[in-house]
Amino acid sequence: MILQIAVLLKKGNVLNMVFFYACHFSICCLKKAIEKM
């Protein structure tokens, strides 16, 4: 995961970085929601 972020930073593609963080955040939220159920 850290390597992916480093590659994105090297490319300087902010949109890709934001998309990656958004996906990661939503997956974490889904996991927490499933655990609460």
Read off the pLDDT of residues 12-21 as tens digits, 9 standing for 90 and up: 777 777 888 8
Q: Is the pTM of this model over 0.85?
A: no
Read off the pLDDT of residues 18-36 as tens digits, 9 standing for 90 and up: 888 888 899 988 999 999 9
d(CA 16, CA 29): 20
Q: Is the pLDDT of residue 6 over 90?
A: no
Per-residue tokens: 16: 């890709």
Whole domain around residue 7: which residue ranges?
2-36
Are the C-beta atoms of residues 32 and 24 closer than 8 Å to each other? no
- Residues of 7-37 as b/e, b for ≥16 C-beta within 10 angstroms? ebeeeeeeeeeeeeeeeeeeeeeeeeeeeee
- What domain count does the chain have? 1
